[in-house]
Chains A and B, each alone.
Chain A
Amino acid sequence: KNEVEQSPQNLTAQEEEFITINCSYSVGISALHWLQQHPGGGIVSLFMLSSGKKKHGRLIATINIQEKHSSLHITASHPRDSAVYICAFGSQGNLIFGKGTKLSVKP
């Protein structure tokens, strides 16, 4: 049973395109995390949010608690945004992860 579903699994975009990655989850949560993993493996925490919207530079994360859905948006995408984006939520002391969305941004 997948408690976290991400879509799409793979996404190819042209530079400057507006990108949306979606995350749906099946249980009540207190906070949802968005993570970024570049080739090479290191994972960076982008956002942790429990309601509304957060913005950091060209990245925007939104969450709708009632609909159990979150989105990560990238405005004016750039090839350096190419990475795997992972959503996750906390449960019983640890994180439950989605399988990730692999984003490739072409120049």
Chain B
Amino acid sequence: DVKVTQSSRYLVKRTGEKVFLECVQDMDHENMFWYRQDPGLGLRLIYFSYDVKMKEKGDIPEGYSVSREKKERFSLILESASTNQTSMYLCASSPSTDYGYTFGSGTRLTVV
């Protein structure tokens, strides 16, 4: 089975800190995604990547950046964390949009 691993389940950071959220998948998938999920808003796409060193902005990229130096790893970076970035962050991967997606367990980030 494909496994998508997010490095932390819960994270508490201070306003202004630089935050790294790591995501690793073990099945050589081309596509990787970062979403945030907020009550009443559902899942929203932050960034996605369809290949190493390639990235595309999603619906809400402001305040975030990403890095994909290796195929299996997709990192989400909060350059200067703010309280409105308190959310559940979910990583996903897929071989293509015509195939199923596999999600990580999520990271619940609280910015204080």
A interface list, Cβ under 8 A from B: 30-31, 33, 35, 40-45, 48, 86, 88, 90-91, 93-95, 97-100
B88 at the interface (CB under 8 A from A): yes
A98 touching B42, Cβ below 8 Å: yes
Given contacts A86-B43, A97-B42, contact A31 B98 (CB under 8 A): yes
CB contacts between A and B, total, < 8 Å: 61
Contact B48 A94 (CB under 8 A): yes
- Do B105 and A48 have beta carbons less than 8 Å apart? no
- What residues of A have a CB within 8 angstroms of the CB of B104 in the complex? 42
For residue B77, give the distance in angstroms from its CB to the closest CB of chain A. 19
Given contacts A35-B101, A90-B98, 4 further A-B contacts (CB under 8 A): A40-B106, A97-B43, A98-B42, A99-B40
Question: Are B105 and A42 in contact, CB atoms less than 8 angstroms apart?
Answer: yes
Q: Which 5 residue pairs are nearest across A and B when measured between Cβ atoms?
A: A41-B106, A90-B97, A43-B103, A99-B42, A42-B105
Residues of B near any A CB (own CB < 8 A): 9, 31, 33, 37, 40-43, 45, 48, 50, 56, 58, 88, 90, 92, 97-106, 108
> CB-CB < 8 A to B108: which residues of A?
41
Q: Which of A31, A41, A86, A94 contacts B42 (CB 8 A)?
A: A86
Q: Which of A31, A90, A94 contacts B58 (CB 8 A)?
A: A94
Mind listing 10 A-B residue pairs with CB under 8 Å?
A30-B97, A33-B100, A35-B101, A41-B108, A42-B103, A45-B103, A93-B97, A94-B33, A94-B97, A99-B40
Contacts of A45 in B (CB 8 A): 100-103
In angstroms, how far is the closest chain B Cβ from the Cβ of A84? Answer: 10
Task: Indicate which residue in B58, B99, B106 contacts A48 across the interface (CB closer than 8 Å).
Answer: B99
